[in-house]
Amino acid sequence: LCEALLAQIDKVEGKVGALVSINNEKALAAADASDARRAAGETLGRYDGLPITIKDNIVEAGEEAKCSSSILDGLENVYDSTVVRKLKEAGCVVFGRANMDEFAMGSTTETSQIKKTSNPHNLDCVPGGSSGGSAAGVASKEFLGALGSDTGGSIRQPASFCGIVGLKPTYGLVSRFGLVAFASSLDQIGPMSKDVQDSALMLDIINGEDEKDSTAIPGKITDFEASLQGADVKGMKLGVPAEYFEVDGMDADVKASVEAAIAKLEAMGAEIVPVSLPHTKYAIATYYVIATAEACTNLARFDGIRYGKRYTGTDDIIETYFESRSRGFGKEVQRRIMLGTYVLSSYEDHKYYHRAQKVRTLIRQDFEKAYEQCDLIVAPVSPETAFKSGESSEDPMKMYLADILTTSANLAGICGISVPCGKDKNDMPIGLQIMGPAMGEKKLLQAAYAYE
Ligand code: GLN
């Protein structure tokens, strides 16, 4: 299997550009180890030898985790993140590192300082982001499954743009230990795969409590995949929030495909109920205040002294910080650090940050009220299909606004999945988003599995 995938990588990676690195010898050695255990008569585990790619912001011992930034050049990590440890304990082969927007800030993977990733469905289009490498690599069959991270949509949106499945788990279901933090109260690691079953299988492996992450939820769930058996939407109540169909820039094909998907679910026996999420219009402002505030705090540690690349042209410490950060961070990351510093400065703190926290509560309460009327919520993932390469650098505000349908789930801490539901007139994939309440993954996966 690993050999076949490496051959596929050889064939398509030059065009797609999904990976920032892959060590063929290491991957084959891990696969050989599984084969050797089997040859020695050992019964292999369910996941033994399974190649899984990880996003470049997930730490593995002995490897760089550059977050697609040049500021972390040359930093070799000394420990495994909890998700990598769990993959290895299950027998999986950690199969390369996927490209991403620098420090997961972006929606196109174009802010990567390492390379360009293209959408396998049209090489002139972006794969989405920030987990664009993970999505493009699954779509081009370079690897079977990948881990991404989702702070405001970075698993679901690229999954939608590339026509694959991407799951953002409930906040805390998967440990963040060893995930380089962007916005700690929003970040979640999750699976990206060709179908729902593979995502359920990966979630079985990676979820569970962790003494190294105090926000990880106690317990461990092992039957996400098993509970797909005979999954059915009959009798399920699916909420449709009008606000998610009325956003600015909603593409007619996206709307039509998602409505057709909802009609199909109804024909399969689901009950469709209108619900309201009235604070949706504040999601972008709230998200970009909280995410940038947390990002500027988290990224303060990259000072040229402790990690990665240092500017050595001076012996002045302040200048060392300035030059290391100015040269190491790209434009979008610098923009977010400045925004975050602004919203946290003493007066503005009350004006923006504290207010955003209050609106965040209102957004969470919107969902709680909606889930009194329905089991799951169905909506589009993104108002548009994959953008043309180069569009985003011209207008960052336009990119921020396109996150309107994904950021609320992170602000509320709930789970969401993107499942392919059609194509637009240019043959680009469209995703159906299903959102469930906190810890509602089982029902979420069952509905997604029944639909697909
Ligand atoms: N596109 C959003 C942003 O740029 C989401 C990123 C993410 O989920 N990591 O912040």
Across the strands, what pairs with 237?
271
The confidence band for 395, taking pLDDT boundaries of 50, 70 and 90, is confident
Q: Is 153 in the pocket of ligand 1 (CB under 6 A)?
A: yes
Question: Is 134 domain-assigned?
Answer: yes
CA nearest 8: which of 22, 195, 331, 255?
A: 22
Distance 339 CA to ligand 1 centre (A): 15
Query: Is 99 within the bounds of a domain?
Result: yes
Asked if residue 68 has its Cβ within 6 Å of ligand 1, the reply is no
Number of structural domains found in the chain: 1
Please indicate whether residue 55 is annotated as part of the active site: yes
Q: Give residue 394's pLDDT band: very low, low, confident or very high (50, 70, 90).
A: confident
**Which of 67, 102, 103, 107 is the pocket-test mutation for ligand 1 (most atoms within 8 Å of CB)?**
107
193 is catalytic: no
Dist. CA 57 → ligand 1 center (Å): 13
Q: Which two tokens stand for residue 253?
A: 């094909």
Average per-residue pLDDT for the chain: 96
Mean pLDDT of 292-299: 97
Tell me whether residue 365 is in a domain. Answer: no
- Tokens 């026509």 label which residue? 163
pLDDT of residue 350 exceeding 90? no
DSSP H helices in 268-376: 283-298, 317-328, 331-344, 346-348, 355-373
Structural contact between residues 343 and 292, judged by C-beta atoms closer than 8 angstroms: yes
| Structural domain includes residue 313 | no
Of the residues 154, 257, 324, 418, which is catalytic?
Answer: 154
Domain assignment of residue 299, yes or no: no
* Percentage of residues in the chain having pLDDT higher than 70: 100
71: in domain:
yes
CA distance 174 to 191: 10
Q: Which of 21-30, 377-386, 432-441 has the lowest mean pLDDT?
A: 21-30
> What is the distance between the alpha carbons of residues 329 and 431, in angstroms, rounded to a whole number?
32
Q: Which of 14-23, 39-48, 431-440 has the lowest mean pLDDT?
A: 39-48
Q: What is the mean pLDDT of residues 371-395?
A: 93
pLDDT, tens digit (0-9, with 9 covering 90-100), for 25-37: 999 998 999 899 9
Q: For ligand 1, pick from 154, 155, 182, 187 the residue to mutate: most ligand atoms within 8 Å of CB.
A: 154
Q: Examine the residue annotation and report whether 154 is marked as an active-site residue of this protein.
A: yes
pLDDT at 443 over 90: yes
- The whole-number average pLDDT for the span 298-304 is 95
**CA-CA-CA-CA torsion sign (125, 127, 133, 139):** negative
Using alpha carbons, list the distances in angstroms from residue 10 to 14, 109, 144. Answer: 8, 21, 15
- Confidence at 391, pLDDT banded by 50, 70, 90: confident
Q: Where are the beta strands (DSSP E) in 184-328?
A: 188-193, 237-241, 271-275
**Backbone phi and psi for residue 263, each to the nearest 5 degrees, phi listed first:** -65, -40
Instruction: Please report, as a single letter, which amino acid is at residue 113.
Output: Q
Question: Any idea which residue has 């007619």 for tokens?
Answer: 252
CA–CA dist 18, 38 (Å, integer): 31
For residue 54, the cross-strand partners are: 97, 147
Q: Is 104 in the pocket of ligand 1 (CB under 6 A)?
A: yes
Query: Does 206 score more than 90 pLDDT?
Result: yes
* Confidence grade of residue 104 (pLDDT, cut at 50, 70, 90): very high
CATH code, domain carrying 235: 3.90.1300.10
Q: Could you tell me the residue range of the domain that residue 41 belongs to? A: 2-268+374-451
Reply yes or no: is the peptide bond before residue 324 cis, omega within 30 of 0: no
pLDDT at 118 over 80: yes
Q: Is residue 319 part of a domain?
A: no
Please indicate, yes or no, if residue 233 is contained in any of the structural domains: yes
pLDDT of residue 225: 98
| Tally of helices (H runs) and strands (E runs) in the chain | 16, 11
ipTM (interface pTM): 0.98
